[in-house]
Every structure is written in C-alpha cells, then in structure tokens.
C-alpha cells in the first residue's frame, strides 16, 4: 500500500484548529468567572473549610445582588428549612413568589417549597392552602401526600380518608391500612361520645376497606361490652386469631374479664392458655400469671412461670418466676431473693417496650400510629425482648 505524503500537510492545520478552540474555551471560562461576584468564591472557600454559616451568608449576598440566582435561592431556602431556620426559609421563598419576572414553573416550585416551610413551622392552615392550590399542577402527587399528613395532624379523619383514596388512585401504593385506621379513629371518637351506632358504621367501613383490620374488631368488642353483650364481645376478639394471632395479647385482659363477668372464668383461662401454647407471648403470660396468682396461689403460678421459662426463655418470665418464688420463700432466704428479684425486675422493665419497626422509637404503650415517625401499624404487638429473640431464632434457622 503506497503512503500518501500529502496527508502530512493536514497535521499543522488540525493542530492550529485545536489550539484556536482551546483558546476560545479558555477565554469563555475566564469571561464567565469574571462575571461571578467575589462572594461566590468566598462562599466556596468557606464550604471547603467547613464554615457552613459563613458560606451561607456569602451566598445570601449573591442572591441579594443578582436576580438571576433563582436556583441558588431555592437551595438556600431548602437548607434553611433542614437546619430548622424556618422563618428564613419562608422569607426566601416568599420573596421569590413576589417577583413579577419569575416564570410559571419556578413559581410552582416556590409554592411547593413554601408549603413545606409552613408545614415544618406548624402553620398547618397556610400549608393546607398552598398544597390545595398545587393539586392541579405537576406537584399534585406530592401535594396530596402533604395534605394527608396535615389532615392526620389536625385529626380531620374524613378529609384524610378522601386524600388517601385519591392517592391510591394516582399511585401504585395501596392506602387500605391507613384508611381503615382513619375510620377506626372516627369510631373511637364516637365511642367516647357514646354514639355506638355511628361508631359501628365507621368500623364496618374499616373492615370493608381492610378485612384484616385487627383494631376494628377490637373496637367492635369494646362496643359490645359497653352495651352489656359480653358473649358478642368475646366473639369479636376471638376473630383476631384469624387476622393476626400476634395481636391476641392486646385483647387477653379483655377476654378474661368478659369470661369472668359471664361466670366462665375457667373457660377463659383455658382459651388464653391455648393461645399461649400456640403463639407464645410475654403479655399473654403476664395476664395468665396474674390470674393464676390470684385464684390458685403462688405455687401454681410458679409452675406456670417455670414451664413457660423452659419453653421460651426470657427476662420477664424469670421476673415472674422469682416473684412467685418470693411469696413462698422462708424468711431466711427472702432477703436474698428480693435482691435478685429487684435486679431482674429493673432489667426486664427496660426490655418490656414496644419498638417501631420504621424509626426505632420505643414506648411502654402500644401505638397503632407511631408518635415519632407518623407511620401506621409499624409497632409489632410484641415487646422488644420477644422481637429480638424471634429475630435471632430466625437467623439461626437460616444459618
């Protein structure tokens, strides 16, 4: 193949063109950098040196001096909100909305940010107004989520039901669990005002939306007790077993109390013992232990606690075992047993907590709605000690 020497003449041309292009790019970069205010570089320097507050002040100076820095103002507003400086965030986003030259899409973004500012500040009425206006825009899905959060905070359960239904229609996520709880909240309010007929309607709606709503059946049973129908209440609470047997511990005391009222105490004890044997539960054990201690004495209660401790070792089970043993201990051993019991009791009290699976918040009381993260049904109906034991057991089975 013969080499074409004339190609060598093109190399200087290509080199010259590349050199000119580089010069043009460098000039463009230099001209752009000269247009940037000194505050911009000061802010970057502060950020690199982890002086966040000084960096923010520098960027604020840029935003005041240059009307073209809209994105910077949005970033500063969001930063203020995350830092808890909500008033500054509100002023930043309000100033953007007041600009007559701001394009429509940017105004919608500013409204969305302002709504979040109001929500963070606890100005729920203002936040609701902003997000209501955003429902017919590209922010409709997010606006509905914020509106749902607002309605829950305001305990406006009917509006919460409506918002959750609409969210379910425009997204792939189901809100059946939340909607059922909203109806249960409505029912609980009616029960507090002794309007059992209205409460029943709300609970029927809850079960229609979510047939596995344990809470709805529990409240149905409470209404039956309030109206003197303990047999019907027992049937309501027994249905919990088919929905989620772990929640039976929440109705154990109710079941035993209604059986006692109907002079069917032995039947109630047999029912709870059966639940304890099949599903195991520290709360169930506690209810049975107290009943046995009152009716059959410390010796039988001791045997119950010992058998359950062998089957399901736990600190709370040991606490009950020592409590029963202490009652029949001779005087010379009682002081030492009391010391051990006090130590075990203090330790088991720290384990007798419910723990939210979403945020980890712990509480002595069982919550259907986590007071920390606001999620529904994130508390397993088992104490943290039980949950940790179950997790360890399942991990060992996998290994």
Segments forming the whole domain that contains residue 373 = 356-399
Distance CA 200, CA 198 (A): 5
Q: Is the domain of 308 the same as that of 222?
A: no
Q: Which CATH number is 182's domain given?
A: 1.25.40.10
pLDDT at 382: 83
Residue 229 included in any domain: yes
What is residue 8's DSSP assignment? G
How much is the pLDDT for 34? Answer: 45
Q: Do both 250 and 263 map to the same domain? A: yes
What's the pLDDT score for residue 61?
53
Annotated ligand binding at 356? The verdict is: yes
pTM for this prediction: 0.76
Is the Cβ–Cβ distance between 309 and 321 less than 8 Å?
A: yes
The CA distance from 244 to 209, in Å, is 17
Q: For the chain, give the longest Cα–Cα distance.
A: 116
Return the pLDDT at 170. Answer: 87
Same structural domain, 342 and 373: no
pLDDT of residue 269: 96
Is the domain of 325 the same as that of 364? no
Kindly state whether residue 43 falls inside one of the protein's structural domains: no
pLDDT of residue 60: 52
Residue 339 lies in a domain: yes
Low-confidence ranges of the chain (pLDDT < 50): 1-3, 5-11, 13-14, 17, 19-36, 39-50, 55, 58-59, 62-66, 389-399
The answer to whether 236 is annotated as binding is no
Do 348 and 372 reside in the same domain of the chain? no
Residue 265 belongs to some domain of the structure: yes
Q: 76 near 59, Cβ under 8 Å?
A: yes
How many separate domains does the chain show?
Answer: 3
Count of CA atoms in the C-beta half-sphere (13 A) of 386: 22
305 lies in the same domain as 371: no
* Residue at 244 is within a domain: yes
Q: Across-strand partners of 180?
A: none
Please check whether residue 37 lies inside any domain of the structure: no
Looking at residue 349, what is its pLDDT? Answer: 65
392 found inside a domain: yes
184 is in an annotated binding site: no
184 shares a domain with 244: yes
Is residue 374 within 8 A of residue 152, CB to CB? The reply is yes
């Amino acid at each position: 193949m013969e080499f074409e020497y004339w190609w060598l003449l093109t190399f200087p041309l290509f080199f010259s063109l590349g050199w000119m292009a580089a010069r043009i790019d460098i000039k463009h970069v230099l001209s752009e950098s000269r247009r940037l205010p000194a505050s911009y570089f000061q802010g970057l320097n502060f950020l690199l040196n982890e002086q966040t507050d000084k960096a923010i002040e520098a960027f604020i100076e840029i935003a005041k001096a240059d009307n073209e820095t809209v994105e910077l103002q949005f970033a500063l507003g969001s930063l203020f909100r995350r830092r808890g400086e909500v008033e500054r965030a509100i002023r930043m986003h309000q100033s953007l909305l007041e600009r007559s030259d701001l394009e429509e899409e940017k105004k919608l973004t500013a409204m969305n940010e302002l709504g979040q500012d109001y929500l963070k500040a606890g100005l729920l009425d203002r936040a609701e107004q902003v997000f209501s206006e955003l429902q017919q825009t590209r922010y409709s899905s997010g606006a509905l989520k914020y509106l749902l959060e607002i309605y829950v905070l305001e305990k406006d359960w009917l509006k919460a039901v409506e918002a959750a239904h609409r969210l379910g229609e425009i997204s792939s996520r189901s809100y059946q669990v939340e909607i059922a709880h909203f109806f249960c909240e409505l029912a609980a309010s009616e029960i507090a005002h002794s309007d059992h007929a209205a409460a029943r309607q709300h609970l029927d709606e809850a079960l229609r939306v979510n047939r596995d709503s344990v809470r709805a059946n529990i409240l149905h049973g409470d209404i039956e007790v309030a109206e003197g129908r303990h047999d019907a209440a027992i049937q309501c609470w027994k249905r919990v077993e088919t929905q989620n047997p772990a929640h039976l511990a929440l109705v154990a005391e109710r079941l035993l109390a209604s059986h006692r009222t109907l002079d069917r105490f032995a039947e109630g004890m047999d029912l709870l013992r059966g639940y304890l044997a099949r599903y195991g539960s520290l709360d169930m054990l506690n209810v049975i232990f107290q009943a046995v201690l009152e009716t059959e004495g410390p010796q039988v209660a001791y045997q119950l606690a010992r058998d359950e401790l062998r089957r399901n070792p736990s600190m709370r089970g040991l606490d009950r075992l020592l409590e029963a043993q202490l009652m029949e201990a001779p005087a010379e051993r009682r002081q030492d047993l009391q010391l051990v019991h006090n130590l075990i009791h203090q330790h088991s009290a720290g384990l007798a907590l419910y723990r939210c699976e979403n945020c980890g918040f712990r509480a002595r009381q069982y919550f259907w709605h986590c007071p920390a993260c606001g999620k529904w049904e994130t508390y397993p109906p088992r104490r943290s000690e039980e949950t940790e034991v179950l997790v360890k057991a399942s991990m060992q089975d996998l290994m």
